[in-house]
Amino acid sequence: RKRSASLLDLFACIGQSFIPYGAQALLLSATFGITPWDAVVNNYYGIILLITTVTAILAEPRLRKYFLT
């Protein structure tokens, strides 16, 4: 259950970071005077979080097998 909740939370964060009219993009556009689309296009945190999450999911069985044998 903890793993399911963690994955749901991670992917919800990733999905929210790519929505042009989400809270984060609107806050950035209001604060720095850029368009919401510019905030989404230059969203490196969401991309890095997506890559890291998918890599961790794919690598976990191999790591578990490596460390437990």
End-to-end CA distance of the chain: 26
* pTM score: 0.72
Q: Within its chain, how far is the Cα of 45 from the centroid?
A: 7
Query: What value does the mean pLDDT take over residues 45-56?
Result: 90
- Interatomic CA distance for residues 13 and 40, integer angstroms: 13
What local confidence, expressed as pLDDT, does residue 69 receive?
53
Contacts of 7 (CB under 8 A, 6+ apart): 53, 57
Cβ atoms of residues 21 and 27 within 8 Å: no
Of residues 33 and 7, more confidence is placed in 33
Of residues 36 and 66, more confidence is placed in 36
The beta-strand segments (E) located in 1-69 are: none
What local confidence, expressed as pLDDT, does residue 62 receive?
67
Query: What value does the mean pLDDT take over residues 13-41?
Result: 86
Report the mean per-residue pLDDT for the chain.
82
